[in-house]
Amino acid sequence: MSELVRNERRGAVALLTLNRPKALNALDRATLEALHEAIAEVANDAGARALVLTGEGRAFAAGADIEQMSRMSPQEAETFSRLGHSSAAALESLAIPTIAAVAGFALGGGCELALACDWIYASRKARFGQPEVALGLIPGFGGTSRLVRRVGIAWAKQLVLTGANIEAEEALRIGLVNRSFEPDELLDKALEAGETAAQRGPLAVAMAKRVIEQGQDADVRTAHVLEQNAFGLVSASRDCREGMEAFLQKRDPSFRGE
Ligand code: CAA
């Protein structure tokens, strides 16, 4: 495992930590590759039922590595954008819930990685932004699409076209962040939310996540059909029988992912 991304287990929750604090966890090629590898490890870890992504030190990630990008040809820049996209897509397509725990700066590619998680918890000291236009660039790791979907087109345009950062309180108000916490509470709260989801029926959680993701790319009638089909499918699982029996027998369910 690379030192650039730590992969630990906290109960049923995989905790991935971007670990390049001297550069505010700036995302260079090596860090993105390490992240991709760590996400694949989590995908293959049957005991990991949720994931929390965070950053070591005072940043979640202050964006793509500007020093490395400054030496890229246009072709290399496109390949680099694809690399960032593939890490974001790998996060998004995990079958388990993913939570970004943002303690400090989540800027540019850092904000985009947070957006690839299912939701974001932030410390009250966190700062969010897409400052690429200040460098003569545009977002390159999915910000132009995921930010629009998360906060709506007007806020996405304000953030991307001004390049100005916002504080956690504003991020909370516009729906970029689900909840904010005191800095020393953030990680525990994110792990706790992961643990809560981890205790639910894993097939149902995975199916619900997939239907939400696929449904938002489809027209609403197709999205309804996707839901109806998935509802029928998950109803055939052993865990669904167990969940309903446990409710009726007034006991906790014992889910097995079957
Ligand atoms: N790339 C490379 N290095 C970075 C970096 C980045 N994105 N962000 C910070 N660093 C480095 C700094 O160069 C500095 O290194 P040295 O100590 O070797 O000089 C170290 O991290 C600490 O940073 P600062 O001294 O700048 O810390 P600060 O507290 O004064 O400022 C900051 C913090 C406001 C986040 C500032 O570092 C900053 O503006 N960083 C750049 C933010 C940015 O523009 N991000 C977007 C990048 S483009 C992108 O992400 C494209 C995309 O979508 C794919």
Has residue 169 been placed in a domain?
Answer: yes
Q: Number of C-alpha atoms within 13 angstroms, CB side, residue 66?
A: 15
User: How close is the Cα of 35 to the center of ligand 1, in Å?
Assistant: 19
Closest CA to 50 of 24, 15, 19, 25: 15
CATH of the domain at 231: 1.10.12.10
Residues 91, 176: Cα–Cα separation, whole Å:
17
Domain assignment present for 128: yes
User: Which structure tokens are listed for 128?
Assistant: 């969010």
Supply the pLDDT for residue 2.
64
Say whether 128 sits in a helix, a strand or coil: strand
> Any alpha helices (H) in 24-162, and if so which ranges?
29-43, 66-69, 74-92, 109-115, 143-151, 153-162
Q: Are residues 177 and 208 both part of a single domain?
A: no
Q: Is residue 258 part of a domain?
A: no
241/159 same-domain check: no
Whole-model pTM: value is: 0.97
What total number of domains does the chain contain? 2
Are 54 and 174 members of one domain?
A: yes
Assigned token pair, 137: 């660039």
255 in any annotated domain: no
Q: Is residue 45 part of a domain?
A: yes
Name the amino acid, one letter, at 44.
N
Residues 147 and 52 in one domain: yes
Same domain, 62 and 103: yes
Catalytic-residue membership of 132? yes
Residue 112 catalytic?
A: yes
**104 is a domain residue:** yes
> Average pLDDT per run of 10 along the chain, which is 258 residues long?
89 98 98 98 97 98 98 98 98 97 98 98 98 98 98 98 98 98 98 97 97 96 98 97 98 95
pLDDT confidence of residue 121: 98
- My answer on whether 66 and 109 are in the same domain is yes
Could you tell me the distance, in angstroms and rounded to a whole number, from the CA of residue 33 to the centre of ligand 1? 20
27 in any annotated domain: yes
**191 and 213 part of one domain:** no
Q: Which domain holds residue 69?
A: 5-198
Indicate whether 43 and 122 sit together in one domain. Answer: yes
Which CATH number does the domain housing residue 183 bear? 3.90.226.10
H or E stretch at 186: helix 186-198
| Burial annotation 99-138 (CB, 10 A radius, 16+ → b, else e) | bbbbbbbbbbbbbbbbbbbbbbbbbebbbbbbbbeeeebe
Q: Are residues 61 and 90 in the same domain?
A: yes
Q: Candidates 4, 24, 72, 146: which one to mutate for ligand 1, based on the most atoms within 8 Å of Cβ?
A: 24
Whether residues 159 and 187 share a domain: the answer is: yes
Q: What is the pLDDT of residue 210?
A: 97
Atom of ligand 1 nearest to the CA of 107: 45
Pocket test residue of 19, 66, 135 for ligand 1, highest count of atoms within 8 A of CB: 66
Cβ neighbour number for residue 227 with a 10 Å cutoff: 16
Residues 93 and 161 in one domain: yes
The set of protein residues with a Cβ atom below 6 angstroms from ligand 1 is: 23-24, 26, 62-67, 84, 105, 107-109, 112, 131-132, 135, 137, 139-141, 143
Return the pLDDT at 192. 98
Kindly write down the DSSP assignment for every residue of 85-108, as one continuous string: HHHHHHHHT-SS-EEEEE-SEEET
CA angle, corner 11, sides to 35 and 206, nearest 5? 65
Same domain, yes or no, for 145 and 180?
yes
